[in-house]
């Protein structure tokens, strides 16, 4: 078991509007994303299952079943290989958990 302090984890700037901090285990990873209002993530899919826990702000998830608006305290589950995207309605902080690991995130952090 390990204690990770998010406050000392490196911050990766994904774009001018998005930052990410990560804690990585053997088979799962947790990321804290900070998104500016108006940011969007195009529809995509990946092998990893994904949980998105909204800490602050509002995010519209674009799912096959239709748009889903989530706010503070909401958790959105996205199954493996499910197409999804997002529109950030209000500046947001979101904890996202992925399993298995997202190798492209690990590469970008190097």
Residue-range domain boundaries for the chain? 18-109
Q: Which of 69, 71, 74 is nearest to 86 (CA)?
A: 69
Residues 80-96 as b or e (16 or more Cβ within 10 Å = b): eeeebebbbbeebebbb
pTM: 0.93
Burial of 74 (0-12, 13-18, 19+ CB in 10 A): middle
Q: What is the pLDDT of residues 45-95, one digit of tens each?
A: 999 999 999 999 999 999 999 999 999 999 999 999 999 999 999 999 999
Contact in structure between 22 and 55 (CB atoms under 8 Å): no
Is 18-109 in CATH node 3.40.50.1360? no
pLDDT of residue 110: 64
């Amino acid at each position: 078991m390990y204690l990770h302090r998010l406050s000392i984890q490196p911050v990766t700037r994904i774009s001018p509007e998005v930052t990410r901090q990560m804690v990585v285990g053997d088979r799962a990873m947790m990321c804290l994303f900070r998104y500016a209002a108006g940011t969007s993530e195009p529809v995509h899919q990946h092998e990893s299952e994904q949980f998105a826990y909204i800490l602050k702000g509002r995010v519209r998830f674009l799912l096959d079943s239709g748009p889903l608006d989530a706010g503070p305290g909401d958790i959105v589950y996205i199954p493996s290989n499910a197409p999804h995207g997002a529109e950030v309605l209000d500046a947001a902080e979101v904890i996202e958990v992925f399993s298995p690991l997202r190798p492209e995130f690990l590469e970008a952090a190097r």
